[in-house]
Copies of this chain bind each other. A is one copy, B any other.
């Protein structure tokens, strides 16, 4: 039997209810499911999930019987990503990857070299878009929640918001990442600061250093910002999955 289709569903509660139009279309048109088909419903805001079953009901709605919600059991990695806002769809790319890799939060940061300057209003619109992308990445990757998404924030505000003792800032030439992480093996929160294209400016690096962020590098090559972030997150995931004594 194939695994039930995972679908995001806000505000899970037991009972029979209609699926919203986009979800109804996704389930019946894209996946061609009908009455009797099993779903796994997950609420990305609460991390709860529930069994669902499509049932007959008055058209044009598509009806679903929702079981008792339970915790999804997914525990995000306590990694808090501060990502310099890049141009075009780079923030989306980073949010998609960071969600799939299991991070706990992503804060987009407005920096000196961020090409895209977002007004609070436009920023708000993008936050909604970023949330949809995270929900889709959560569905695909099988995690039962999405990272806390915030921003775009000023760097000072972003640095002040951090609640993690381990703090590293990716840099081109610096001590190796795993050296900076010391005995971190996924237990405690870690904050990872990644600059936009072109990196952080000198004053910004100084600000980050004053806030306790230690510069850390991945290997000896120069990496584009989105690659550096994903590669560093991959390293954190691998380290957390396989405790190695230091």
**Which residues of A pack against B, CB within 8 Å?**
74, 77, 97, 100-102, 140-143, 176-179, 217-224, 227, 230-235, 237-242, 244-246
Known: A100-B227, A141-B221. 17 other contacts (CB 8 A): A97-B227, A97-B231, A101-B218, A177-B238, A177-B241, A178-B241, A218-B241, A219-B237, A219-B240, A230-B230, A230-B231, A231-B234, A234-B234, A234-B235, A238-B238, A244-B244, A244-B246
Min Cβ gap A75→B in Å is 9
- 6 closest residue pairs by CB, A with B: A231-B234, A178-B242, A235-B238, A234-B234, A176-B242, A176-B241
**Distance A219 CA – B234 CA, assembled complex (angstroms):** 9
- Which residues of B lie under 8 Å from residue A239 when comparing CB positions? 178, 235, 238
CB-CB nearest in chain B for A217: B241
- Which residues of B lie under 8 Å from residue A240 when comparing CB positions? 219
12 A-B contact pairs sorted by A residue (CB < 8 Å): A77-B219, A97-B227, A97-B231, A100-B224, A100-B227, A178-B244, A218-B237, A219-B240, A231-B234, A232-B238, A234-B234, A238-B238
- Which residues of B lie under 8 Å from residue A227 when comparing CB positions? 97, 100-101, 230
Most chain B Cβ neighbours within 10 Å, of A178, A222, A239, A242: A242
Q: Do A223 and B177 touch (CB < 8 A)?
A: no
**Distance A221 CA – B139 CA, assembled complex (angstroms):** 10
**Distance A142 CA – B179 CA, assembled complex (angstroms):** 23
Min Cβ gap A71→B in Å is 15
